[in-house]
Structure 1
Amino acid sequence: MDYDTMREFADSWALLAMAVFFVGVIVFAFRPGSRQAADRAAQIPLKDD
């Protein structure tokens, strides 16, 4: 692959893939029930085993 081909791929499909990944992360973070899971995970370092 030469530079121009890689640049064209990065400008189109890679950008689309990153945008889809970003939207997926946002949906995952704001899904119903995620607050309780995040609160439980935040308390892990504070637990005395």
Structure 2
Amino acid sequence: MYPGPKPPTPHVPGVYRFTATALGAGMWFFLMYRAKKDGAVLLGWKHPWDH
């Protein structure tokens, strides 16, 4: 049987891949930093108005 056509795979310059990886890592570092600071508030375990 004929397997069918394959989708085209675009060539992506290396600088775009590096930039995307750096921005993605920065996003995750920021999310983990914010989760460390106020993750309990985000999950509802602590209320911000209760000191």
Scaled to the shorter chain, the TM-score interval is: 0.5 to 0.7
Structure number having the greater helix percentage: 1
Aligned residues: percent identity?
Answer: 9
**Number of matched pairs:** 34
What is aligned with 2:49? Answer: none
1:30 aligns with 2:27: no
Unaligned runs of 5+ in 2: 1-9, 47-51
Larger Rg: 2
**1:20 aligned partner:** 26
* TM-score, normalisation: structure 1: 0.54
What's the Cα RMSD here? 1.9
